[in-house]
Chains A and B, each alone.
Chain A
Amino acid sequence: MNSEWLADFWRYRELLYFLAWRDVKVRYKQAALGASWAIIQPLFTMIIFTLFFGRLAGVPSDGIPYPLFSFCALVPWTYFSTTLSQAGNSLVSNAPLVTKVYFPRALLPAASVLSGLVDFLVGASFLVLMMMYYRVKPGWSLFLAPFFVAGMVLLAFSVSMFLAALNVRYRDVKYALPFIIQIWLLVTPIIYPVSFLPAKWKHFLAFNPMAGLLEGFRSSLFTTRRIDWGLVGISVVTTVVLLFIGAIYFRKTERSFADMV
């Protein structure tokens, strides 16, 4: 990453906004439909999780009602997973643009990362309703929630830069992507709390940056939970490392995008 690359990115910031705006506009062309999908997806997953894991398997939820426990993780997770699959395909699906116009290529995954935030906000407002229903009163820690979201945005951008570039080079990445996302869901404390795991596993969990960020986000919503700063710290460091790896790989390969996509 050199400064020229970043400067170019900055110069084209308006196009970034327009590309993200396009994604949102197209998705929300029929406003009700767009918004409802942003809620339906985490909502139904929450219902299924509550039935199978909360009720049948009896997975603990640290004293929080299980539906709320899983939903408050599913909203950011849905954002993260949809962003990965959209941003991961962003270069290939925008091939006509890549082969016909010059602009910093990283704008494409970045735009997907940004446009997904609208869905996230819709989901989050539903989360607020749910918290009111369960009469959960958040404390001061709520003000930390945006930082965790910002961390997830950064993480989503890092991973999707890598995946998008890899996808141009190797056409089967597209097929591996849903599988990667599925595995990632299971190794992230969404269905279960971190306390559910044996202590020595927890250290491995920390290397999944989504684990720390998501757990931090969840903890920030409830006064009854303490934020595990050790876990969060490792996740933030991992995110920054991934950002560099993603950006370096992207930069190394972006010159050949137009020839290969």
Chain B
Amino acid sequence: MSQAIAVEKLSKKFVLGALQRDTMLRERLVSLLRSPFRGRSASPNILWALRDVSFRVDAGEVVGIIGRNGAGKSTLLKVLSKITYPTSGTVQVGGRVASLLEVGTGFHEELTGRENIYLNGSILGMKHGEVAAKLDSIVDFAGVAQFLDTPIKRYSTGMRLRLGFAVAAHLDPDVLIVDEVLAVGDAGFQRKCLNTMEGLRSGGRTVLFVSHNMAAVENLCSRCIWIDGGQVCMDGSPREVIEAYMNTFANAREAMADLRSVQNRRGSGEIRYTGVEYLTSTGEPLQVVRSGDSFVIRFHYHAHKPVAYPSFGLRLYTEFGTLITDTSTWHHGIDIPLVLPGDGYVDLHIDFLNLLPARYYFSLWITGAASPVHDNVEHCAQLDVELANVYSSGRMLDSRSGIVFFPQRWKVHEAILAGAACKAGEK
């Protein structure tokens, strides 16, 4: 099989901080005048987004790339797409490459749908004649025929996404590079995306895609690469790699009581989560969480400085990375004027846990008034929900029944029940 992508000892370095002070020409000139012989005094805050990454992809392979936020996945795709250049190492990509790092790149608000199709197609590397030939099919795919000559500033978000993806879906490349496109849009749109990718796969194209949707990676990919800290952590069959990746979250269990040592986090750090605790409604430590339980999750924090109007929030995910819900103090209309320096906690009371038994993860965040992120820890805590006799029927619900259940009642007419009893009696 011929080779589509060859990556050899690829490294990419970012210099942080030093850039900021250096971005003014005026200051640069002044410092040149003051000490013309000294070089730039860079504070060496270096981040290796990629470090010694090597792998090969054969033509026709569909490779999923997984890893935490900030692991280097997007940087890798950007280097492969020639958008940014490696600090060292080489990259070879054979054939016509199309990269879709964003849906609808270069769309212009004032232009009509039709005009944007041509513009976007051209930006993605299609020839004018090619777009013209595929126009009907693109419009059909996007389902925007009626609005083709309307400026896209009047389009809904969903329409824009569909239009953007429709153009990209008609690229017909040898190598397709996709970044987390599946994370946006409604279920119908996602299904369309997946079908298109499926089509590409069966068409023998090489596809490289980043996703947090483990189910999609497992279904679509023939191979999976897990990247962490800018390095290839594991490379192999999707099932094995995903399992290994997911197992690292299981370590979150030990870290559950203590989030202070978590390194992989973002945010300015004025205020940080320090721990998570599960308690019963009466404040006792909780050992087991069952479907239908009422309990309290206590989030401990530590503030280094006074923080005005923080919002505490969490996102709950399934084991496969599907977002179930996002909730915060802000959503509930709770305004906290000021948090003083020191330790403290906020409690989340769950009156009725309508999650089915499975393993869940949450990511925690704290944002400030003008919404700068103070703290953001991905998949830092684990929630194991156990089997329960939720309907008091003695019959258990388990993970095969789905993700959630809700308070409900079945009503079956007496006559039907009685009739069944008669039938049973006749026998």
Interface residues of A (CB under 8 A from B): 14-15, 18, 21-22, 25-26, 29, 96-103, 166, 169-173, 176, 255-256, 258-260
Q: When the two chains form the complex, which single residue of B82, B85, B111 contacts A25, counting CB atoms closer than 8 Å?
A: B111
Determine how close the nearest CB of chain B comes to the CB of A249; give it in whole angstroms: 14
- Of the candidates A18, A25, A97, the one having the most CB atoms from chain B within 10 angstroms of its own CB is A18
- Count B interface residues, CB 8 Å: 29
Q: Main secondary structure on chain A at its contact with chain B? A: helix
Give B58-116 interface residues, CB cut-off 8 Å to A: 78, 81-85, 99, 101-102, 105-106, 108, 110-111, 115
| Interface contacts beyond A99-B83, A255-B84: sample of 10 additional A-B pairs, CB < 8 Å, sorted by A | A15-B123, A22-B108, A22-B119, A25-B111, A25-B115, A26-B110, A26-B111, A96-B106, A166-B25, A170-B23
Chain B residues within 8 Å of A18, by CB: 118-119, 122-123
Alpha-carbon separation in the docked complex, A258 to B12 (Å): 13
Q: How far is the CB of A202 from chain B (nearest CB, A)?
A: 31
Q: Is the CB of B24 within 8 A of A170?
A: yes
The CA-CA distance from A256 to B118 in the complex, in Å, is 28
User: B84 and A258: CB pair below 8 A?
Assistant: yes
Q: A22-B111, A26-B108, A170-B25 are in contact. Are A259 and B122 (CB under 8 A)?
A: no
* Residue B427 CB within 8 A of the other chain: no
Q: Which residues of B contact A25 (CB under 8 A)?
A: 110-111, 115
B56 interface residue (CB < 8 Å to A): no
- Closest A residue, CB atoms, query B85: A255
**What is the CB-to-nearest-CB distance from A200 to chain B, in angstroms, rounded to a whole number?**
30
Pair A102/B83 contact, Cβ less than 8 Å: yes
Give chain A nearest CB distance to B100 CB in angstroms: 9
* A and B contact pairs by CB, cutoff 8 A, 26 listed: A18-B119, A18-B123, A22-B111, A22-B119, A25-B111, A25-B115, A26-B108, A26-B111, A29-B110, A96-B105, A98-B83, A100-B83, A100-B101, A100-B105, A101-B106, A101-B124, A102-B83, A166-B25, A170-B23, A170-B25, A170-B28, A171-B23, A172-B23, A172-B24, A255-B84, A258-B78
B interface residues, Cβ below 8 angstroms from A? 14, 19, 23-26, 28, 78, 81-85, 99, 101-102, 105-106, 108, 110-111, 115, 118-119, 122-124, 127-128
List the B side residues contacting A170 at CB < 8 Å: 23-25, 28
Cα A50 to Cα B110 in complex, Å, equals: 38
Q: Which of A14, A100, A101, A166 contacts B127 (CB 8 A)?
A: A14
Please, how many angstroms separate the alpha-carbon atoms of A34 and B137 in the complex?
34
The interface residues of chain A lying within 8 Å CB-to-CB of B111 are 22, 25-26
Question: Do B123 and A97 touch across chains, with their CB atoms under 8 A apart?
Answer: yes
* Known A14-B127, A25-B111; contact A258-B83, beta-carbon cutoff 8 A: yes
Nearest-neighbour CB distance to chain B for A8, whole angstroms, equals 10
Contacting A97 at CB < 8 Å: which of B19, B82, B106, B118? B106
Give min CB distance, A30 to chain B, whole Å.
Answer: 10
Q: Which residues of A contact B99 (CB under 8 A)?
A: 101-102
Known contacts A26-B111, A170-B24, A171-B24; A14/B122 CB under 8 A: yes
Chain B contact residues, majority secondary structure: loop
Contact, CB under 8 Å: B123 / A101: yes
Give every chain B residue within 8 A of A97 (Cβ-Cβ): 105-106, 123
- Determine the chain B residues whose CB is within 8 A of the CB of A172 once the complex forms: 23-26
- Cβ contact within 8 Å between A169 and B23: yes
Contacts of B81 in A (CB 8 A): 101-102
Distance A259 CA – B111 CA, assembled complex (angstroms): 28
**Min CB gap A84→B, angstroms:** 16
Q: Which residues of B contact A255 (CB under 8 A)?
A: 84-85
User: How far does the alpha carbon of A166 sit from the alpha carbon of B122 in the complex, in Å?
Assistant: 27
Q: How far is the CB of A215 from chain B (nearest CB, A)?
A: 31
Residues of B within 8 A of A96 (CB): 102, 105-106
Residues on A with beta carbons closer than 8 Å to the beta carbon of B28: 170
Are B19 and A260 in contact (CB-based, < 8 A)? yes
Which 9 pairs across A and B sit closest by C-beta, in order of nearness? A170-B25, A102-B82, A18-B122, A255-B85, A258-B84, A100-B105, A100-B101, A100-B102, A258-B83
Which residue of chain A is the closest to B123 with respect to CB atoms? A101
Pair B25/A176 contact, Cβ less than 8 Å: yes
Residues of A within 8 A of B105 (CB): 96-97, 100-101
List A contacts of B82 (CB < 8 A): 102
In the assembled complex, the Cα of A22 lies from the Cα of B115 at a distance in Å of 9
B413, chain A: closest CB distance, angstroms = 59
- A170 and B40 CA atoms in complex are apart in Å by 14
Closest to A255 in B: B85
A101 to chain B minimum Cβ distance, whole angstroms, is: 5
B residues less than 8 Å from A100 (CB atoms): 83, 101-102, 105
Name the residue among A15, A25, A256 with the largest chain B CB count within 10 angstroms: A15
Residues on the B chain within 8 Å of A29, using CB: 110
Task: Chain A residues near B119: list those with CB within 8 A.
Answer: 18, 21-22
Taking a contact as CB atoms under 8 Å apart, the answer to whether B122 and A15 are in contact is: yes
The CA-CA distance from A60 to B123 in the complex, in Å, is 50
Closest B-chain residue to A260, C-beta based? B19
Instruction: State how many angstroms separate the Cβ of A25 from the closest Cβ of chain B.
Output: 6
Q: Which partner residue on chain B sits nearest A166 by CB separation?
A: B25
Q: How far is the CA of A96 from the CA of B105 in the complex (A)?
A: 7
Q: How far is the CB of A90 from chain B (nearest CB, A)?
A: 13
Q: What is the chain B residue whose CB lies nearest that of A98?
A: B83
Closest chain-A Cβ to B115's Cβ sits at a distance in Å of: 7
Q: Which residues of B contact A169 (CB under 8 A)?
A: 23, 25
